Amino acid sequence: MINVTKAFLPPIAEYQAQVQRAWNNVWLTNRGELVLELEEKLKNYLSISNIITTNNGTIPLQIAMKLFGNGGEIITTPFSYVATTAAIVWENCTPVFVDIHPDYLTIDETKIEAAITSKTTAILATHVFGNPCHVEAIEAIAQKHKLKVIYDAAHCFGVTYNNQSIFDFGDMSTCSFHATKLFHTAEGGAMFCNDEKWFKQLYYSHNFGHKTALDFHGLGINGKISELQAAMGLAVLPYMETILGERKKVVDYYNSNIDFSKLKGLKIRENTQWNNSYYPIIFETEAELLLIEQKLNELQIFPRRYFCPSLNTIEYTNGKPMPVSESIASRILCLPLYVGLTTPELDTIISTINTNL
């Protein structure tokens, strides 16, 4: 069976060696030695100045909405994983959708300003499939209207834009360390913020608001990552160059062998060092997608329809029509992409696509 992705697992002895450290310390959570070490190593690897690791990739979005949303309207994309919109609604804010660019698949920055009202408090945009938004235009709009910018960078581990970590843009960025991501802690995530004042607020917010054991800085929630999760991260991190290299080989093979006469791929934004996090193909019609999906499933190959449906169509969002997002969502399919895919397996996927379109 070939799934759309597969978690990278380091040698189990290396993970067990990290877990043994937690056992020796008798310290399993509350920011122990392994968590602190992981954060330092991630700062060095990503060339960033700060990071707060979290127990999943959704809690940073919820914290962002709690701190920056203020119960207002949040301009966001309809083309993302449901967690992006769910965090807005969960924190009693209102999502206001702006359609997406048909090539980059990120929020269409030319349509943002028309969606701003007196109730708008922030922009929550997704770097889709690790492909950066037009961060310069979004920053200019946010400064003009005094809005906060939060980037859902769940797919973006290792991505740089203009030779700078993608996590450095916006007032805050988030990332997912879910098992299916390039770098993972089995379950986990992180948040990034270059403003020292807000960084401290984010830190307090993910730890129940604690200032000290007896004093509180303010309202908080439990977003802490455990030592066992950090152990996985410490065991995976040394293999990042292997992971990135192997995934690039798969992407290059797809690019060289898929017949794109009836398909379209993802256009990566200029000046981006991409991380090959997903491999989406866009069909001319949904019927063609369903046919290829069926043919692949018959061979025990399971691509996935990221991101379908378009989030503006989910009942609790009360979204207006978003024609580009709705069209793309109905026609996009992500092909298997992970370390360990063999050339014969890739040939089967590619030939199934090429011979049935």
pTM, full prediction: 0.96
CA 11 to the chain's CA centroid: 26
- My answer on whether 113 and 174 are in the same domain is yes
Spatial CA neighbour of 79 closest among 111, 41, 34: 111
- My answer on whether 156 and 289 are in the same domain is no
- My answer on whether 219 and 330 are in the same domain is no
- My answer on whether 195 and 252 are in the same domain is no
pLDDT confidence of residue 218: 85
- My answer on whether 199 and 130 are in the same domain is yes
Spatial CA neighbour of 159 closest among 194, 184, 188, 183: 183
Distances in whole angstroms, Cα of residue 18 to Cα of each of 38, 223, 226? 11, 22, 13
The residue among 222, 238, 254 that closes a domain is: 238
- My answer on whether 176 and 70 are in the same domain is yes
Spatial CA neighbour of 83 closest among 53, 103, 66, 61: 61
Give the total number of structural domains in the chain.
2
Residue pLDDT tens, the chain, 357 long: 999 999 999 999 999 999 999 999 999 999 999 999 999 999 999 999 999 999 999 999 999 999 999 999 999 999 999 999 999 999 999 999 999 999 999 999 999 999 999 999 999 999 999 999 999 999 999 999 999 999 999 999 999 999 999 999 999 999 999 999 999 999 999 999 999 999 999 999 999 888 777 777 888 999 999 999 999 999 999 999 999 999 999 999 999 999 999 999 999 999 999 999 999 999 999 999 999 999 999 999 999 999 999 999 999 999 999 999 999 999 999 999 999 999 999 999 999 999 999
The CATH number that applies at residue 194 is 3.40.640.10
pLDDT confidence of residue 209: 82
- My answer on whether 92 and 188 are in the same domain is yes
Please tell me what DSSP assigns to residue 67: I
- My answer on whether 139 and 36 are in the same domain is yes
- My answer on whether 32 and 160 are in the same domain is yes
Angle at 314 between CA 313 and CA 316, to 5 degrees: 125
Angle at 154 between CA 33 and CA 110, to 5 degrees: 140
Spatial CA neighbour of 123 closest among 132, 109, 159, 131: 109
Structural domain that includes position 307: 240-356
- My answer on whether 321 and 174 are in the same domain is no
The residue among 238, 272, 293 that closes a domain is: 238
pLDDT confidence of residue 214: 79
Residue 100: strand, helix, or coil: strand
- My answer on whether 256 and 307 are in the same domain is yes
Which residues are paired to 191 by β-bridges? 52, 174
